[in-house]
Amino acid sequence: MELKTEQIAQQAADIAKSSGAQNSRIIVTRERFISLTQSNGVLESIEESSSATLSAQLFVDGRYSTHTSNDLRPEALKSFFSQAVAMTRLLTGDAHRILPPAELYQGYQDQELKLLDPAHSSVTMAQRRERAQQLESSIEKSRGKLNHAEAGIYDSQTESVLVNTNGFLGRAQSTVYSVSINMTASDAQGHKSRDGDAAVSRFYGECPALQTIGERGLQRTLEALGAKPIKTQKLPMIVENRVAGRLLRNLMMPMNASALQQKQSFLEGKKGQILFSPLLTMVDDPFILGGLGSRTFDSEGIPARKRTMIEKGVLQEFWIDTYYGNKLGWKPTSGSSSNLVFQGGERDLEALMKSVGKGILVTGFLGGNSNSTTGDFSLGVNGFYFENGQKAQPIAEMNVSGNQLEFWKQLVELGSDPYPYSSVRAPSLLFNDVLFSGV
């Protein structure tokens, strides 16, 4: 499969060239996935398929366009590219649309990042069903308290090849396995609670204990029963590691060159300034072994580099792709993040709660948005009101609003608990004086 994918990509680049595209970027991705769900002791669903997609970015007479197709037969590709090139010629030229500068490719190494489990193809359906069964039976003792529970298994193997016709060829292969369980419980008043837990790993053998996942999901579901809004007030806020990435993504959007060039970023002109709590250090690290965002090159074929984006509250870098970098007159770095790693603190979630005594622990966000032009944000939250470091009352249907530039100065502590199942490895975050809107 490896050689074939590379051949398809090279062949497509050749066809693109003979069709009239002086340069192109070709990405061929092949994927196989299997997904099972299990409920009430029986297999509820089984899905399995393979797919192949070709994406071609064409540079034709100073013009640019992108095309994707899942029909990879050479004869189909010929007509696909001739139409794509004809379409590109109808656009306005744009001198900023070029492949990344070739000097960025120098010294590129396809280093081993432990992203591919060679055993993936030998995992059997019986093993998967066994795993789903074990996960579901982890909550067996509490079945009577639940309306419904469903365990899910998903795994996939992906291979992609990227060719830039100015001298880059990159290959990426990875596997991912996830296990998840979700459940619903209700109380005597008819209130319902639905939650669960999940884990992701790159290797079949690295799945955490299924019993723990089930028990944690169960605990989360049961202790949130009866959640309701409390009165509008200012309190310390702890955001649990599992959902902290949601907050951080709001901060990442305006750090993109496209947002900056399009004047849709409240961070424009603020590089080098202390904008956030001095405790906030955020590193974009593509080289973590087995990391869910790990890579040796990005979606443009720019070789990966480790970069400190925010250091002790100072904005250090932006995510700069080739196109918007050219428009801004900046050197491209990468237009997207890989793994994000944070300088963590000393204490875990429990200790954080103890240290503040009273506050709100946010375990989920509901909708909301953040305006990257102004930094204004507003997010629905649920979780727990806690006193003396102990959960006192589940809360829901409350909201937190503010402006990012003020909000991140209120960050007073980071936990010691980076979330391992996301490319954003956020720890729990403690903020002071947050206004919770409720009843």
Task: Give me the residue label for tokens 């003396």.
Answer: 388
Report the site for another protein in 129-168 (rule: CB under 8 A): 147-148, 150, 152, 154, 156
* CB 34 to another protein: min, Å: 9
Q: Contacts with another protein in 375-414 (CB under 8 A)?
A: 376-380, 382, 396-403
As a whole number of Å, the CA-based R_g of the chain is 24
Name the one residue in this structure whose structure tokens are 């603020």. Answer: 270
By CB under 8 A, residue 271 contacts another protein: no
| Binding status of residue 19 toward another protein by CB under 8 A | no
Look at residues 281, 342, 294 and name the one whose alpha carbon lies nearest to residue 116: 294
- For another protein, the closer of residues 190 and 272 by Cβ is 190
Binders in 36-95 for another protein, by CB under 8 A: 37, 39, 42-52, 63-71, 80, 83-84, 87-88, 90-94
Rule CB under 8 A: say whether 284 interacts with another protein. no
Q: How far is the CB of 137 from another protein (least distance, A)?
A: 18
Q: Which is nearer to another protein, 169 or 207 (CB)?
A: 207
Nearer to another protein, 70 or 346 (CB): 70
Q: What are phi and psi of 186, to 5 degrees?
A: -135, 160
Residues 227 and 230: their CA atoms lie apart, in Å, by 9
Q: Which is nearer to another protein, 5 or 37 (CB)?
A: 37
Q: Which of 115, 139, 162, 200 binds another protein (CB under 8 A)?
A: 200
- Does 431 sit near another protein (CB under 8 A)? no
Concatenated DSSP letters for 220-256? HHHHTTT------EEEEEEE-HHHHHHHHHHHHGGGB
E-only strand ranges, 61-119: 63-69
Nearer to another protein, 279 or 379 (CB): 379
The structure tokens 């937190």 sit at 400
Nearer to another protein, 107 or 367 (CB): 367
Residue identified by tokens 């009577």 is 144
Interface size with another protein, residues (CB under 8 A): 110
Report the sign of the C-alpha dihedral through residues 108, 112, 117, 118, in that order.
Answer: positive
Considering the complex, state which of residue 316 and residue 401 has its C-beta at the smaller distance from another protein.
Answer: 401
AA identity, residue 291? G
144: three-class secondary structure by DSSP: helix
- Minimal distance, residue 299 CB to another protein, in Å: 14
Binding string, 317-346, against another protein, x = CB under 8 A?
Answer: ----------x-------------------
Choose the stretch contacting another protein; rule: CB under 8 A; options: 6-14, 108-116, 224-232, 299-307: 224-232
The verdict on 171 binding another protein (CB under 8 A) reads no
Sequence-distant (≥ 6) Cβ neighbours of residue 31 within 8 angstroms: 50, 51, 52, 156, 157, 158, 159
**Chain position carrying tokens 């139409």:** 83
Of 18-26, 110-118, 191-199, 347-355, which segment contacts another protein by CB under 8 A?
191-199
CB-CB contact of 60 with 89 (8 Å): yes
Q: Should residue 123 be labelled a site residue for another protein when binding is judged by CB under 8 A?
A: no
Q: How far is the CB of 47 from another protein (least distance, A)?
A: 4
How many CB atoms sit inside 10 A of residue 225's CB?
16
Work out which of 243, 252, 260, 362 binds another protein, going by CB under 8 A: 243
Strand order in the sheet with 307-311: 314-315, 307-311, 282-284, 340-342, 424-425
